[in-house]
Each structure stands twice: as C-alpha cells, then as structure tokens.
Chains A and B, each alone.
Chain A
C-alpha cells in the first residue's frame, strides 16, 4: 500500500492596518528598533488594550471571501507564556470563540479544483523580536512588532501533498493581497506558515502529527513537508513510532530538528481577557463589509476570459495581483481596440522587463497610458512589432512616451512605396544571381530578399509592404 501525506496549515497573516491591534502605534516595517512603541504595547503597568476596528473589519472581510461563518459574538483570550519579546507575559488572541469559522478555499490541482476546508480565522497580536546575533552575546529586543494585528488562518487537514499545500498557500496569499487586508510580504514575515504533517497508508485513520515551524517561503514549505513525510515513512517502515512534537525546519540544511515534545508543550492557560468585552458585530455591519468586497481572483480570471477573450493562461497571469489586474484594465481602457494585444504586451514584454530590473508593476515608469501609446503605434503601423520592443526598452530607460522615442531614434516605419521600391532595387542590383534563380522558379528565395530589404532599411520598412512590392518587382 502506498503512503499518503496529510497536511493541515496554520498561517499567520499580518493585517495591514495603519495602527496596531490594541494601541495607536504605527506598524511600518523596518523602523528604528522600539521607535513604534507606547506604554500599551510595552506592557507597562495599568495600560489597557482598545481593539482596532480596521483589524476586525479586515478579518471579517477575509472570512466572507472564504465563504465562512462570521460569529457575531466572539471573544478575546489571554494566551499566557513568558518570553522577553512578549511584554505582558501573555498574548491577546481568540481561543474559544474566533470571529471567523468554517470556510473554504478552492485550489488548482492537476486533477482539477480541490476544496480545502478552513477551520477558523482568529485575531491576535504579534510579539516583538528578539535579536541574538552580532551583539556580542547580548540579546536585544525590538518591540516595534509587538501588538501588530495578525489573522491566524487554520486549515483542515485536507491537503495530501506538499504541492497541494503550496497551491493552498499561494491561493491564500493571492487572496489576502487581493482583498487588500495584508501586504503578505513573506520576507518581512507578514505571511508565516506552520504545517501539521502526518502520514498514513491510504484508508487508514490519521497518523500522529508533527508540527513544523518556521516555514518562510513557498520553496521551504515544499522542502520541509517532503522531508518530514519521508522521515515519518522511514521511521514507521523501520518499525518506529511517530511522536507528537514540534520541529523546527532549518532551511540551510534542508532538514528539521525537534524543538519540543508534547510533554514540553506549553500550557497556555487560556482564559477570557477581562480587559476586553466580547466583540459584538451586527449583521448589518457584516453586510456593509460584504458590500465593500472587491472582485476576487477567480471571478476576475473568468471575467477576463469572457470580456476580453483572453486565454485561460493570460487571464490567470493578469489576475495574479490586484495591481497587475488594475494595470491591465487601465491598459485596455486606453487601448480598447485589442485587449489581446494588451495582454500579450503586458504579460510577455513589460512584466519580463520589469522583473529583470527588479521593479514592481505598481512602480513601472511605463504607465498603462504610455504602454497604450506604444500599442497604438503598432496598430497604426508606425512601428513594427519587432521594433516596438526596442521602443519599450527605451521607454523603460527614459520614462518618455513612445512617439518621442520613435522620433528620436528614427524608428518610424517606412510605408512609402517609392522609398521601399528604391531599396528593393538596390538589393536586386546587388544580388543579380539570386534574382535570376528566383525568376527561374526558386520561390523560396523571397524570404532572403525580405531579409535583405529589412536589413537595408534598418528594420523600419513595413514588412507587409516589403513582401508585396518584392513579389511585384521580382516578377518583371
């Protein structure tokens, strides 16, 4: 019997609110250590939390987007443990009654869409950061992150391979960015994943699970899950038993090591936080949040196919992020005649160039209006598609519009028959032998002549005109 991997994921998503979950401090990344703190997020005596409404709304929005139940009354609990970057000695979280329960997310798999259950989404506050390295044996604590709002999104154990887990995470990552509830920058720790992994032979009940921590890129997640599943299978096949434990994945070594056993697991002594009354939402508040729901990636993908006639592939690429989709729609708005040309130039030409330059679409100097200007010049034959790529390079370098670049570089396409005829005659004069062969019936030499003419015109001659005039003049 073959082995099956069973995976459930817990994802911590930083909610991109302007201020922290329970105080007014800013949440900007990378600020001077401890500069974004106040007595509340420093856990000073007598200080009290006040819930950030924006964090609630964004968590509810996420819940609605995964078709979940929104609990109109939820509760905040204290999760008690000691750590130097946890100033109060407890984390405010939601344990018994989270704000969101029972949703799902559909993910693409080679066998078609698969529905992954989402058990719950609860709100909590982040801890600070302990810095141990490069400080001569002294640990420093940065509490800028202390109190930053998080959503913990807990899935059902519905995934059966590392690839499915990655597909789920990518789908979730895309969703929260689309919803505008998180920047979800993994390098900044805004989208962090723990995985619960077990193995079983098909048809058997779930095996003992092991929690993997510190999975901070899609690549590591895949590696870590595959490593762990293989480790468990090997262990069982060798007659061993899986122990319930938490393991830390070491991305440098590509392996995991035990962090703490079940016996060493914390007793968090959860109890309702007496500083915070239950979070009560009205149905009308929930509906108002639902009304503000943006178009979701799946809906947008289908609309791009239907409305603009895009291929499923292009529609998928262009709906990856809200910024990219927004760019595309602005481009189509400015160059409505040919949505497919818009898609090709954006997906195949502009994005690749931006990626090489390490620039995000939202920061592209070639705005949708500027790119539309270039596409207009292709449409009216001012430049050939081939030359237009050079024009785009120059536009990215200079930030100037297509016409300016075309004029400056003399790239305007030659459509004057007389001028083209003159070039053709020069080429014919220089290649008399080939002219003779062509006229003797060797038709495939036409391509040779086209190439020579285009070369002589430095690419500016309109290729269709060149074709037509060559056939005419070579006939004689």
Chain B
C-alpha cells in the first residue's frame, strides 16, 4: 500500500476488495505515529476509535455494500464539534471540552461511511495564517519543517501534504483552507457561502466561515465536497434550493477550450515573491495552451478587502466568542472573587494574544460612536467588492490569481508583526467577503516551496472551479510532487 494515494484511488482499491478499511486505517495510524512528533499536525488521536470505525465500515460494506466514502480516512480540523473526543479549537478556553453533538458535516461524513481520524492542529479559533497561535504550538510544513504550513487549517494541510491522511476537512474564513493548501502543495476548496452547513463548527466569523475539503488532487476535493454539501434546515444561512453541481463530472474536463480566464491586475502586485509570480505566469501560459483566453480584468476595490475583513471578522468574532465566559463550559478561573473577576480572569487565561487582539478590535469597531466609521463602512466596502466580482464575471468565466503572495515562510518570521501576517491573506480574503467559491491547487515552486494557483468562480459554480483545476492538473504534474523524507 502506498501512503501517497489519493482518496479516489483508495476508493477504487477498497471497492475492488484489494484492501480493507482496517488496512488503510492502520497504514495512516502508523504514519501518524512515525511522523506526527515532527509535524505536529494532529493534536488529538484515538487510534482504537479509528480502528473501530474502520472495522465497522468493513462490516457495513460486507452487509450493505459501499457508501460514497466507505472506509476512507478523513482528518478533521479541531474546529468541528465531534461527539467522539475533545473539540478544543486549539484554545486553552476550550481545553477538555467535549461536544455532546456532531457538526452537521461530521454527521454527513459518518453517513457517507468515512473513517474520521483525529483532530488536526489549527490557529486558535482559526485566527491566524501560520498555525502559530495554536495552544499546541505550530504544525510544520513537510516541505521544510522550519516553515509554516500556513493557517489556520495548518494541521490539515500538513497531514495531507505528508500523507498522514489522504484528505482532511478545513474551514476557510479569509483563506484558511486555500492559503495552507498553497503553502503545502495540495488542493483546497472553499465552497460558496451557504453551500455547506456551519452547524456544529465553532464559529469565528459567521458571515464568512465555510468548511471545505483539503486533498491531494482535484477529484478528491470534489468527492469530499459532494459529501458535505447540501441544505441544512438547522442552519438559516445554509441555502435551500442552491443550484446543484455534478461534482465528479466537473472533474472530467481535460481542456480549456472557450474558457475565459480573468487575470485581475490588482492581484499581481509589487512585493510579490518573484518565484510566485513566475509560477503563476507559467500556469496561465499553460492554460492558454489548453485553449483558454486570458482576459486582463480589474477588481478595483481589492485593496480595501483586507481592511474591511479585519473589521467585519473581528466584529462578528467579538460576539461569537462572548459565550466563552467560564460559566457553563470551558476554562473557568480558580477562586473568582466575584462575577467580574470570573469573567475577566477566565477569558484572560483562556484566550491567546491574537484572539484577544481580534476580540478587542471587534468590540471597538462595534462601539457606539465608531460603528458607522468602521463596521458600517466595512459592510459598504463588502458590497463594492461583491459588485466588482459580479461585473468581472460578465466578461470572464473564472478568475485566476496567486493564492498567496509568498511561499511558506519561516515559523516565527511574522509573529511579531500582525499586519504583515494579515497581508498573507491578501489574495484569499476578497472572495470570502463576496461569498464566492475558490480553489487553490499546486502550480509550481518558488525557493523549492510549493506555489498555489487560486481559481475563483461565480457563486454556486464550483463546477467551473473544478473543471479548470482538473484540466490544469491533467496537463501538469505539480500535484504529483511530494515532499521528500516522508516515505
């Protein structure tokens, strides 16, 4: 058995009877045992429980035949509530928290026959771009252990890139799936806002959060997205009657004939790593060879996206994180003198510096007298950004950009400078604000580190993302490059 086997290939082997779910589970458990100390990708793992699920899957297959993800191991970001094991969001304030419920997407994965593997590392409450705000310390990039795998879904990215799991679930609020996917050379997709239920996913910024797949190839992303998508009546922001996508058929595309690819000039900026720029230019040239037309477009309000995001996301977070007050669950300070002391010390002890920074920012932005200048203004910017994309999609089918302006950076390099850290999401944030789907796939290297190509499509057109990415993947072999030393 080969560890660097994509999900769809495992499915073929399992369905043909060549391997059992128990075999596959044991393979990855062994790899986690061997490599996790170095990568710190998993922050919780109950091996016995993984083997139990695999055995149950094998027996389900024997009795009833396979379900769509029968026996396939999927690693889960620590932000998804699961009845099994802790859900801690890598935050001291949720240390030891066990949810009495599964997130809706976890239920869907279980119903599809998947074997859920552990909890993966992440920035605390998904606030970060390097996985360095985790209470468990950062996950590491298998391409260079001194580098970040990106964030916030750094553990999921690291796990998939080093084949500690064939696929993982992440969440993306401002790029938290796509940026780590780019920095670790894997595929990551953020679906259209409202495509995937948010119920049971610890909320960071409710109007931006969306769960999605992190996989070794485009087809795997489609398989996983198909399993977790769909209307959830218990999430009022999950859209009923959303246009359906034929996820797997979209991946059969092998050319780009007639495809109009928008190339927004605002995404090719000074200060971009030249290697990233070269890789993207080469990728777009490849797309032209496949039959696409590259159209220069403008998304004029792009430069305001980061600022708007860092008002809106912290504002929502300041309210979403108010429930961690030491009263009902999570960390409570010892011997509080009174109620105020209970609140302030529990939260002071329970939240890390970046989370506190964002709570304070959001609280300030929503304060009486500042609301109009910050929150309302940011929402207006958001409308303009959405409008930019709508206008662009009148002339192009998809948009292609770099996912990140730089390849993986060294751990500790940006931790002292939050603003520089925030700018690592400069290319990913706008489409969260617009609610659009986006996908990052490997497209080359810069300084021997992977570079990600980001595709952006109109709302509900994940099929357009997948088709473009599948055609690119079939014509290149970037996705097949593996980091060395993890055999």
Contact = CB atoms under 8 A, between A and B. Distances in A.
Interface of A: 39, 42-51, 78, 80, 82, 84, 87-90, 141, 267, 269-271, 274-277
A298 B94 CA distance: 56
Given A39-B101, A45-B87, A46-B203, A84 B327 contact: yes
B235 A88 contact: no
A82 to B, nearest CB: 6
A270 B372 CA distance: 12
A80 B325 CA distance: 13
Contact of A89 (B199, B237, B323, B371): B323
A46 B328 contact: no
11 contacts: A39-B100, A45-B94, A45-B97, A45-B202, A45-B203, A47-B199, A50-B233, A88-B323, A267-B368, A271-B366, A276-B237
A271 B375 contact: yes
Contacts of A42: 328
Nearest to B315: A271
Interface string B172-206: 00000000000000000000000000111111011
A276 B97 contact: no
B103 A46 contact: yes
B81 A46 contact: yes
A236 to B, nearest CB: 29
Interface in B294-333: 315-316, 318-319, 321-323, 325, 327-329
Contacts of B368: 267, 269
A45 B366 CA distance: 22
Interface string B361-374: 00100111001000
A210 B290 CA distance: 73
A43 B323 contact: yes
B237 A44 contact: no
Given A47-B199, A90-B322, A275-B236, A269 B100 contact: no
A131 B367 CA distance: 31
Given A42-B328, A269-B367, A277-B236, A48 B375 contact: no
Candidate in A82, A88, A141 with the most chain B CB atoms within 10 angstroms: A82
A94 B236 CA distance: 17
Interface size grouping (class) on chain B: 35 or more
Nearest to A271: B366
Interface in B370-388: 371, 375
A277 to B, nearest CB: 6
Nearest to B368: A267
Contacts of A46: 81, 99, 103, 198-203
B343 interface: yes
B314 to A, nearest CB: 12
Interface string B35-55: 000000000000000000000
Candidate in A78, A270, A275 with the most chain B CB atoms within 10 angstroms: A275
Given A48-B234, A50-B234, A80 B202 contact: no
A146 to B, nearest CB: 11
B207 interface: yes
B339 interface: yes
Contacts of B237: 48, 274-277
Given A43-B328, A80-B366, A84-B327, A274 B200 contact: no
A274 B204 CA distance: 11
A274 B368 CA distance: 19
A92 B379 CA distance: 20
A49 B233 CA distance: 10
Contact of A274 (B89, B206, B325, B366): B206
